[in-house]
Structure formats: structure tokens, C-alpha cells
């Protein structure tokens, strides 16, 4: 019961209006699998009570809810946080420290990712102590130029980390020109806007080492369960950005920092104090 409550507090504690009660933890016909039933409501007068349920795997390490599998436990995001610290290798802005690490998995040809860049810029402003990483996850099956755009991005980053963000902004701004006829010129123009030599970046992007780096980034996304772009990983907590309004996202980032005992760098009036 204590572990379940700690797990739910990690997931829902950012919302100070939400209340819940663990109604039951039941055995199921599947050996070792438990079903957890939770009553959920809020603090408003005459609020309705909803029932939700999830299953916990026999090893106690994962929860299954709907069609998703997520880490389970009192500190469910701790292992993924370590993975991100070790393996996220995209261009970074913000703080040098990885204490508050926000990793955006994105595809340069993805329209939703283009729309999310304003949100990412705002997160950088609102959380001065955050290290914000752009991690490439090109969905090559549906975006035919995304892999090459990602390869160019790694080559730009290799020469100048900050130039990557100028390059990425130029690609996003000209997404409509990522077509068979104009994609190469579009990417090279973006490199030029970033102040680098497009011929050199093109040659770099064709090397096996850079292709391997893009593939490793794709593998990382798949291994941790990223199934849409853009997805933001906040100290190990996966959040599909298209489903979370900015004010809620901001609360989640501040709350996760509080749980992890790190400072966001935000003003005292905007963020809860770190424990």
C-alpha cells in the first residue's frame, strides 16, 4: 500500500487539487500479477469520484494501465533518469549540470515537433537550472528526410553545439520544402544559416559514424518506450508533449525537481522549494 501511494504521489502530486484513495490491491488469475483499484476525485464541492485501475507485474517493477507499460515503485523514474544522464547525446542548452535534465525526443520533419519548439524555448526561460537536450528520433518510415536532417544535425552539433539550434529552427521553419526536389537544398540552407559549411556537413552526414549515432538515438527512444514525437523526458518521467498543456507541464517539471531534491532556478513564487 505504501509503495502504491508513493507511486501515485510521484505521478499525481503536482496537482494539488487531486485526491485519491487506494481502494484495493487484489490478486489476479495471472500468477504474481496484482490489480490496484484507486478512487480519484478533487477538492471541489460535490466532486465526482472516478475509479481507475492498473496492474503490477510480478517483479514489482512495472505497472500496466490501458495500453501502456510504465515503471512502478516509490521512485519509478530513477533508473530512466540515470539512462538519460548517460546516453542522451543531443545538442544541449541551459545549465551544464544534469541535475534537472529535460530531454526532448523529436523529429525535424514532424509538424507537432515544430509546434513544440515554443514550449521548449519557454521551458529554457522558466527553468534556468535545467539542461535541455534535443534528442533526435527521426521517424523515417513516415518522414523520408528526417534521418538525413538528424544526421546533418549531429554534424552541426559536432562543430558548434549552439549552432544546432539555429539549424533546427531553420529546418522547422522550412518543413514544407522537405520534398524530393528541394530537401537537400533546404538542409544545406539551414546549415548556412547556422554559419557552417554545407558541403562539409553533407560529407560528415554520409559517414558511417554519424549514421550509427542517429541509429543509436533511435534505439534509445525505442528502448525507453517513446512512441510519439515530441516526447519530453523530465528526469526520467516520459511526457507526450501534445497531450500536456504548458502550465501543467511547468508544474510537472517543478514537482519532479522537488521530488529529486534539485533547484529549478525559477523564482521562489513560481516553483516549490526543493526538499
Long-range interactions of 142-145: CB distance < 8 A, separation 24+? 143/107, 143/109, 143/110, 143/178, 144/109, 144/180, 145/109, 145/178, 145/183, 145/187
Q: Does pTM top 0.85 for this prediction? A: yes
Query: Burial level of 84, CB count in 10 A (0-12/13-18/19+)?
Result: buried
Beta strand residue intervals within 110-243, DSSP E = 130-136, 231-234, 237-240
Domain 79-259: CATH superfamily, name plus number = Glutaredoxin (3.40.30.10)
**74 backbone dihedrals φ, ψ, rounded to 5°:** -70, -30
* Residue 268: predicted pLDDT: 53
Q: Where are the domains of the chain?
A: 2-74, 79-259
Q: In Å, what is the CA distance from 193 to each residue of 8, 150, 164, 175, 189?
A: 46, 16, 10, 15, 6
Return per-residue pLDDT of the chain as tens, 275 residues.
899 999 999 999 999 999 999 999 999 999 999 999 999 999 999 999 999 999 999 999 999 998 888 999 999 999 999 999 999 999 999 999 999 999 999 999 999 999 999 999 999 999 999 999 999 999 999 999 999 999 999 999 999 999 999 999 999 999 999 999 999 999 999 999 999 999 999 999 999 999 999 999 999 999 999 999 999 999 999 999 988 999 999 999 999 999 999 999 987 544 444 43
Q: Name the CA radius of gyration of the chain, rounded.
A: 21
Amino acid at each position: 500500500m505504501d509503495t502504491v501511494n508513493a507511486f501515485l504521489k510521484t505521478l499525481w502530486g503536482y496537482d494539488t487539487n487531486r485526491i485519491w484513495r487506494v481502494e484495493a490491491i487484489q490478486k489476479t488469475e495471472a500468477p504474481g500479477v496484482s490489480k490496484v483499484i484507486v478512487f480519484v476525485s478533487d477538492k471541489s464541492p460535490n466532486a465526482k469520484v472516478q475509479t481507475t485501475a492498473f496492474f503490477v507485474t510480478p517483479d514489482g517493477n512495472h505497472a500496466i494501465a490501458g495500453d501502456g507499460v510504465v515503471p512502478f515503485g516509490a521512485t519509478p523514474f530513477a533508473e530512466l533518469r540515470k539512462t538519460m544522464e548517460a546516453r542522451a547525446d543531443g545538442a544541449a542548452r541551459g545549465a551544464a549540470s544534469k541535475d534537472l535534465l529535460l530531454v526532448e525526443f523529436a523529429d525535424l520533419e514532424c509538424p507537432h515537433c515544430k509546434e513544440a519548439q515554443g514550449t521548449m524555448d519557454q521551458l529554457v526561460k522558466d527553468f534556468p537550472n535545467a539542461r535541455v537536450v534535443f534528442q533526435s528520433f527521426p521517424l523515417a518510415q513516415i518522414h523520408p528526410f528526417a534521418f538525413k536532417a538528424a544526421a546533418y544535425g549531429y554534424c552541426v552539433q559536432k562543430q558548434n553545439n549552439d549552432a544546432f539550434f539555429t539549424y533546427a529552427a531553420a529546418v522547422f521553419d522550412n518543413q514544407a520544402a522537405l520534398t524530393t526536389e528541394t530537401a537537400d537544398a533546404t538542409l544545406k540552407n539551414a546549415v548556412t544559416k547556422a554559419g557552417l559549411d554545407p558541403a562539409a556537413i553533407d560529407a560528415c552526414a554520409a559517414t558511417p559514424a554519424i549514421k550509427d549515432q542517429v541509429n543509436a538515438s533511435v534505439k534509445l527512444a525505442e528502448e525507453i518506450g517513446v512512441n510519439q514525437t515530441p516526447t519530453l523526458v523530465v528526469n526520467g518521467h516520459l511526457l507526450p508533449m501534445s497531450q500536456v498543456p504548458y502550465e501543467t507541464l511547468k508544474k510537472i517539471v517543478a514537482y519532479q525537481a522537488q521530488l529529486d531534491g534539485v533547484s529549478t532556478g525559477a523564482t521562489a513564487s513560481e516553483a516549490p522549494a526543493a526538499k
